[in-house]
Amino acid sequence: GDLDSLRPEVQEYYASVGVDVVHDPDQNSTDFGKCLDYIQKQYRPSSPGKLVDHVVTIFVYNALGGRVDHTFHSIHQLH
């Protein structure tokens, strides 16, 4: 995400346990959208026309509920 609310000590902790902390300064997309883009880039075929030879399963928690505009956006991102 854009990491605008990430405290330095939290970033240091996750980096120390092997979690990729990726800064994306784009303010025109949501953190959820940025995560999906990151996953897609990681599993994109290495050459054009080549099919991906594995399935990626994504579990999304708390993407529905709360504000209806956020719910519709989450569904749209997954589609």
Q: What is the pTM of this model?
A: 0.64
Q: Does any domain span residue 61?
A: yes
- Cα-Cα end-to-end distance for the chain: 20
DSSP annotation of 40 reads H
User: Could you list the residue range(s) of the whole structural domain that residue 35 is in?
Assistant: 8-77
Task: Give pLDDT tens digits for 5-18.
Answer: 889 999 999 999 99
User: Could you tell me if residue 3 is inside a domain?
Assistant: no
Contacts within 8 Å (CB) and 24+ apart, 11-16:
none
Could you read off the pLDDT of 35-63 as tens digits, one per residue? 888 888 877 766 666 666 677 888 888 77
How many domains, in total, are found in the chain?
1
